[in-house]
Structure 1
């Protein structure tokens, strides 16, 4: 089977989507399949390191933070993609990652070439856009584009039943497989370092995350536990809000901001931290999603404080029946601060971190997710045959 993966982001660029797509490529290769990847050139200072797949890149526009994000950057990827996908050696199936503009290109070219494609709907982009200060007209257009891209797919894969329910409400009747979400345990093995007075927020922090509440909680915690640091590693549209809140509360000197880093560079931070922190803002259309950063932290043996609604809390409750995995709480500054206090008072020992990483590898391995995705790709390819 020949599979073409289409995504504006791919390894080594640090992101959950990169790790996920890389795991799918690895599983395809392990099963003896042929894999092409059509993606953007990685950020300056990074270079592709294929593991058997053919990675075909081309330059794109990036935003101020170095991401392919925004109308012009998306177009800079999608327009050349149309040509590349049209002339590429014919695959049996295409596996694509949003945005919906990419979905439109994939649907049109795949229809012309009579190639089935599988759409990775980890979330609903037009739902997420409602959390940003954009015109209702933009939301309407984005919703129409997303529906068009989804309705042409032979199959759809997603991470939770909540996304399936949302797709049905939007009138998407294509077959959907819930493949789950996990951690690439090879990229995030249990790690150990000299303990620091540190909490880490690793990954993106957009409006749907509401990460500014972590600063509120940290300020309350810091009043009774001086010397601790809250470290944000990643970027997102909420960074100005987070920085402003830290200044307002007088804790800016104890809050650090690092650019996104590859897993190997993130591991020492997780290994030294009391815990990582993840949030999802409640009362939004985005409540059904996972906080994917949680899985990488658990895989590395770093406990998690998760605040907010959705299925992520259930993962921590499940883990805590067998290992010490962290604390799930409401999206409330006082509860987050109490969780910080509890975990700082009872830090995980190295053997507990090892047990947490081993549990995650067994129960939420990205390789298991990738195997389920490959099964869906094979089904879609058989449909073409």
Structure 2
């Protein structure tokens, strides 16, 4: 989106975080002024929790309030950021666009957070949404939830996007490949523990199958413990979060990728976007969870999808293992037609420019 804004001549400033020391820093677009701010991170380098959020949000409030004025701001979650940006933007009498990648208060409910926490998060999110000139949303399901929380705010469905240059069928592969890979976050609402149970059944019938989990999340330690209990630690590996290029290599090398979504948590509309990255490199997805994702995978032929149940999921994984060899050109073609991040960014920019003050396309993200 930042690059697409620069493409239309916008003067773009990005106010973001300083990366963790362990991360390989990507090159910034030379046309864009990127301003980074140090934040609190947990031991894995992840920004998670209200104090880490505020370590960015509070300085951001003053950076917006006293920084060079923009014609429009674009704000990403968490809701604490949106709340404080709304206050600063109102003081500066400047509109902002909110990027609704998902609904944080619904995700918090899925984690079993205390009721008082849910009320606070819901209130902050409603304030952030209702103050926006427009909300960019990634799916129709998210749009419906935004409309429920902020009925009078316009929405624009831009879709999910994948960098098809990075996540492509051709490129480096990992030196020690596995048959099955899970790449990305494993939080409570993902319910990735089901994948471990299903893999134990798959591996019980085929002693040659191997798997890897690459990423992080609140469920990560629990997944490791369960693998140890099952005695599968020699066949299921765990690796920390990697750069996008390396994530693509893991997906590209595997025969099947995994994606799960625990149903019945008020978050069934969510999309585990890891499945799109897999499709882009041509690796089919084994998904367990509710519609609409299950129906999408079945209707579009993106892999195998089933209800959230270990035996059925094991069968779905096994069916893909018996069929797949090499990148699936049909999957790659579908990705190019449906989930290009370039197309998503262009749709977002059209909305952002319309919100900006007449006669100008200056913007700050």
TM-score class normalised by the smaller sequence: over 0.9
SS of corresponding position for 2:94 = coil
SS of corresponding position for 1:201 = strand
Residues 1:259 and 2:240 are matched in the alignment: yes
Confirm or deny: 8 A CA contact 1:116 1:384 kept in the other structure.
no
* Number of the residue aligned with 2:75: 96
Cα displacement string for residues 77-111 of structure 1 (whole angstroms, at most 9, x for unaligned residues): 01111121122221111111111110111101100
Cα displacement string for residues 112-170 of structure 1 (whole angstroms, at most 9, x for unaligned residues): 11111011111111111112242211111111111111111000011112122222333
Distance 1:384 1:253, change over 3 A: farther
* Number of the residue aligned with 1:347: 324
Distance 1:316 1:167 in 2: 24
Confirm or deny: 8 A CA contact 2:130 2:150 kept in the other structure.
no
**Deviation at residue 48 of structure 1 after TM alignment:** 4.7
Distance 2:192 2:326 in 1: 28
* Number of the residue aligned with 1:175: 154
Unpaired runs of at least 5, structure 2: 361-365
Larger CA deviation: 150-159 vs 337-346:
337-346
Residues 1:189 and 2:164 are matched in the alignment: no
Distance 1:206 1:35 in 2: 33
SS of corresponding position for 2:311 = helix
Distance 2:278 2:324 in 1: 15
Larger CA deviation: 46-55 vs 220-229:
46-55
Confirm or deny: 8 A CA contact 1:98 1:120 kept in the other structure.
yes
Confirm or deny: 8 A CA contact 1:154 1:380 kept in the other structure.
yes
Shift >4 Å, 4+ stretches: 192-197, 382-385
Give TM-score, length-normalised by structure 2: 0.92
Give TM-score, length-normalised by structure 1: 0.88
Count of aligned pairs between the two proteins: 356
Confirm or deny: 8 A CA contact 2:288 2:313 kept in the other structure.
yes
What is the RMSD computed on CA atoms of the aligned residues?
Answer: 1.9
Cα displacement string for residues 230-260 of structure 1 (whole angstroms, at most 9, x for unaligned residues): 2111101111221222223222332211111
Distance 1:44 1:349 in 2: 35
Distance 1:41 1:197, change over 3 A: closer
SS of corresponding position for 1:223 = helix
* Number of the residue aligned with 2:363: none
* Number of the residue aligned with 1:32: 9
Distance 1:159 1:125, change over 3 A: same
Distance 1:355 1:258 in 2: 30
**Deviation at residue 221 of structure 1 after TM alignment:** 0.3
* Number of the residue aligned with 1:370: 345
* Number of the residue aligned with 2:91: 112
Residues 1:236 and 2:213 are matched in the alignment: no
* Number of the residue aligned with 2:135: 156
Distance 1:30 1:249 in 2: 52
